[in-house]
Structure 1
Amino acid sequence: MRYSVLCAAICLFGAVRQPAAAQNGNALTLARAIDIGLKNNYDLQVGELQTRTSVVNNTWGAAGLYPSVAVGASANFSRTMPQGSDAEDYSTLSVQPSLELSWTLFGGFRVWRTKAKLDAAQEQAEGSQTVLIENTVRSIISAYYQAVLESEKVTIAQQLMDASMDRFRREQHAADLGVVRNLELLQAKNAWLQDRASYLSQKNNYEDARRQLGFLLAVERGGDWTLTDSIPAIDERLDPAELHRIAQSDNASIRKQYAAIRLRAEETLVARSDYYPSLNVGVGAGYAYNRAAGIDNRQIQPYVSAKISFNIFNGSQRRRAVRVAQINHEIEKLSLEDMKLSVSYDVDKQYDAFLLRRELVGLREEQLATTELSLRIAEQKFASGTLSQFDFRDVQISYFNAAVDLLSARYDLVMAHVDLLLTTGMLLRETD
């Protein structure tokens, strides 16, 4: 069943593996649009930097494994001026550089638990980035096919406008010959004006869709592209039980939530480490130089220290910290169960929507075929004079509306399929 879902995804995103020649010039495939968006999108760049922060923080040094080394120095100069007549002035100079190494050999397993916590934090950050990438890819797919849809609507609107213009010209020519009445001419002109307005409005919708696509791809002024991919036809048979199984294991938000649970669990263990004693050792050396009353004194002072400490009571702060961490852990576990239930309902909802939209595509195809046949018959009757302008206009509009409805139904079906892939966690895999 998983391979059946994969086949459906490959049908949808077959353009991802287009040859390089298809990406030359101004041709913009869906694959190229996704590639540009993943490189340029500002939200993804910010998310990448935030993820990189968690990677930088995830080191053994940040966890406290390594010792710390400190160097320092102090200097003091003083001058003594006695008030007695027989005493002489004298000065004192003291210079004391030092080098110290301190190391916590044991801190209640805090180092290893802190490192595990940093691992979980990095995994959670990467999960957030994955969710962001998925949503961005979904938005790019939607914007790309929306622009394709609006472009097809422009073509249909232009065809309707051209047909109305041809009819208006024929009526105008017939009126000049005195064959057509003024009312028929005015009706033909009104139809052309209406179709012209619809065409101009649709062109504006197409430009808005292109601008939205350009914004998602973070390019200047939307780019001068020719959209080469068309809205694909999808007719797959999916098993809802298999979709549920895949979603519960591969959904990006669920996997991110598992990382959050692990993070809270490690925070609890870190809080528990305060119940253990800690052992610290230190090694250092100091050098002292003193000069007083013209007499030099030099000393080297090495030392080794060890300290073991155990906090017996600190106002129940340790217990409160552990309890808070446990509560946060339980909250994340409950959030996971809520998320699993939500994903399960989303799969059912999106699967039902997929079935409905697939059936609607079939109905729209049949409707278009019916209206196309009606238009052909109406053209013959209108040419023979047995059909009025009003009735012919109604048939003509019905045909073009059916063509638009079919395009919209195919777009809705594609996006229902994309949402299924997104929920099951397979969207990034299938867009390579």
Structure 2
Amino acid sequence: MRFLMVGSLLFSVSLQAQEALSLEQAIAKGLTNNYQVRLSQASVAIAENNNDWSLTGKYPEVNLTLGSDNSYSSTDNPASVVTQSSVISNAIVPGVSASWILYNGSRVTYAKDQLAKQLNLSQEQLEVQIQNTIQSIIQAYYGALVQREQLAVLQEVLGLSRDRIRYQETRQEFGQAGAFDLVQAQDAYLNDSTTYLVQQNAYQNALRNLQLIMGVDTPTNYQLTDSLESASTAYSQQDLEEKLLRNNPDLQASNINIQLAALNTEILSVARLPQISLNAGANYNINVSNGSQTFNFGGMPSEQNLPGVASRTLRGFVNLTASYNIYDGGARRRRIETAQLQEMQSQLQYASLEQSLKTQLANTYATYQNQQQLVSLTGELVANARRNLTIAEERQKGGLINSFDYRSIQLGYINATQSRLNAILNLKNTETELLRLTGELVR
């Protein structure tokens, strides 16, 4: 009875309310909640907003102005008709001005291309983050599945150990077994219970790790609905390499960096061309003067006050300006040379990344093929261990093997199943890495 109570405590966790969760749902939750993905999406939104002709200088710029011009002047000139004056002037000057670059060597077009490439780069960086997030979720999901399957195996073995105790107790009642055999069965059951509890905690930790990667804040007791199946897809290394060169987002981002570097070189090169701009505007001046003036006619000075009458002036202009830099100490040439070197650097970075990814793909593909064989071998190992356990159970009941041999066969079955589960997990992770390298996780 004491051992049956232990068993009921071990299985109590499975009675808690659970929420079904498929791999597809886990990925959807992760892409919605993951902060790195959301940050990358914000970067794409910024790049989309910046990809506009208005930021390239294509359109004219029009400004409204409003100014005030206030002054005071005092004059004392005996040689003049106006010998003395004291005047305060107050003016309001509203105006409008416009400037428009008519020609600057196609820098406007290159600037727009640059903004479009920046958008493409942000989109590729978002795809990199999405693929990394999907890969992490897949690995965490299948890692939790493996822990659950290992828990199921230990539960099966625990049931066999419990049946073994009952069997030994029955034999002892009929005088066919001693206390030693019963103690050995109880010891095996307690060891299996301890292992089960440790594995139960490992499974819960794996679920919590999955929730962390998904970005789920509220703890939830998920029931994983997908099954753990070994990958059996046959890949061709040549096809994988073609997909890598065509779809890998890291490689695509590096290629965009090459294009951006080339555009930067073009922009600096056309800076040597003249610039022609059109400037136009108008202003309206309203000036009110107050004060006094002293007039001297024939030695008879006469002081008069200014009436404070407003004067009005309208002024308009249209100007065409052309500028060409003749000499700047070689600064433009240096900047162009630097841009050309940066362009070469980006090309070298692309070549280095391509070589590294090809090597990584070849290693991953070879590992995938090797792990497929390991899954097949460990599957046969589990089948043999299961048959051996069934035979051992029958032989023990017939008294043909002792408890130590039976326990050894039990442990062999546990080790074989764990080896197979680990082989399947490794194969799944390797296949996921193949899909990530070839850009197929989001396609």
Task: Tell me the TM-score normalised to structure 2 length.
Answer: 0.86
Aligned to 2:257: 260
Other structure's SS at 1:303 match = strand
Equivalent position to 1:225, from 222, 225, 241: 222
In 2, are the aligned partners of 1:231 and 1:414 still within 8 Å (CA)?
Answer: no
**In the TM superposition, what is the alpha-carbon distance from 1:142 to its structure 2 partner?**
0.9
The structure-2 alpha-carbon separation of the partners of 1:81 and 1:331, relative to structure 1 and needing over 3 Å to count, comes to closer
The residue aligned with 2:368 is 354
Write out aligned runs for 1:122-141 (5 A).
122-141=119-138
For residues 241 and 153 of structure 1, the distance between their equivalents in structure 2, rounded to whole angstroms, comes to 37
Q: Which amino acid aligns with 1:261?
A: I
For structure 1, which segment, 208-217 or 259-268, has the greater mean C-alpha deviation from structure 2 after superposition? 208-217
Question: How far does residue 237 in structure 1 lie from its aligned partner after superposition?
Answer: 2.5
- In the TM superposition, 1:331-370 aligns within 5 A as 331-370=345-384
Q: CA deviation at 1:89?
A: 6.4
Q: Secondary structure at the match of 1:66?
A: coil
Alignment of structure 1 residues 372-411 onto 2, 5 Å: 372-411=386-425
Is 1:329–2:308 an aligned residue pair? no
Q: Which has the higher strand share?
A: 2
Q: Give 5+ residue unaligned stretches, structure 1.
A: 1-24
User: What SS does the corresponding residue of 1:302 show, helix, strand or coil?
Assistant: strand
Q: Would you say the 8 A contact 1:248–1:343 is kept in 2? A: no
Query: For residue 38 of structure 1, what is the aligned residue in structure 2?
Result: 31
Question: What is the Cα deviation at residue 287 of structure 1?
Answer: 0.8
Matched, 1:159 2:156: yes
The equivalences for 1:167-178 within 5 A come to 167-171=164-168
- How many Å separate the matches in 2 of 1:316 and 1:222? 64
Give the counterpart letter for 1:135 in structure 2. Answer: N
- Aligned partners of 2:163 and 2:263: how far apart in 1? 75
1:250-280 Cα shifts (integer Å, max 9, x gaps): 2121111111110111011111121111111
Secondary structure, aligned partner of 1:92: strand
Moved more, 94-103 or 414-423: 414-423
Structure 2 partner of 1:147? 144
| Structure 2 equivalent of residue 66 of structure 1 | 59
The answer to whether the 8 A contact 1:150-1:205 is kept is: yes
Distance 2:204 2:95 in 1: 71
Instruction: Tell me what 1:290 maps to.
Output: 287
How large is the Cα RMSD of the aligned pairs?
Answer: 2.2
Q: Could you say if the C-alpha distance between residues 317 and 301 of structure 1 is closer, same or farther in structure 2, counting changes exceeding 3 Å?
A: same
Quote the Cα distance in structure 1 between the aligned partners of 2:170 and 2:393.
19
C-alpha distance in 2 between matches for 1:377 and 1:206: 31
Match in the other structure for 1:210: 207
CA positional deviation for 1:26:
2.7
Secondary structure at the aligned position of 1:168 is classed as helix
Read off the aligned partner of 2:431 and give its amino acid letter.
H
Runs of 5+ unmatched residues, structure 2:
1-17, 78-82, 291-307
Residues 89-128 of structure 1: pairs in structure 2 closer than 5 A: 90-128=87-125
- Find the counterpart in structure 1 of residue 15 from structure 2: none
Q: Which has the higher helix share?
A: 1
Q: 1:101-144 deviations in whole A, cap 9, x for unaligned?
A: 01111112111111111111111111111111111111111111
Q: Residue 297 of structure 2 corresponds to which residue in structure 1?
A: none
User: In structure 2, what is the equivalent of residue 425 of structure 1?
Assistant: 439
SS at match of 2:271: helix
Q: 1:52 maps to which residue? A: 45
- Structure 1 position 78, deviation (Å): 4.4
Q: Percent identity?
A: 29
The secondary structure found in structure 2 opposite 1:427 is: coil
On the 8 A contact 2:230/2:375 being kept in 1, the answer is: no
Q: In structure 2, how many angstroms separate the alpha carbons of the residues matched to 1:311 and 1:37?
A: 55
Q: How many residues align?
A: 404
SS at match of 2:90: strand
Residue 76 (structure 1) shift: 3.3
> Residue type matched to 1:122 in 2?
L
Which of 412, 416, 420 is the aligned partner of 2:430? 416
What residue number does 2:326 align with? 312
Q: Give the distance between the partners of 2:219 and 2:348, measured in 1 at CA.
A: 44
Q: CA deviation at 1:220?
A: 2.4
Q: Quick check: 2:47–2:118 contact (8 Å CA) kept in 1?
A: yes
Distance between the aligned counterparts of 2:131 and 2:338, measured in 1? 33
Residues 261-280 of structure 1 mapped to structure 2, 5 A cutoff: 261-280=258-277
CA contact (8 A) 1:211 1:221 kept: no
| Aligned-residue offset at 1:235 | 2.1
TM-score normalized by structure 1?
0.88
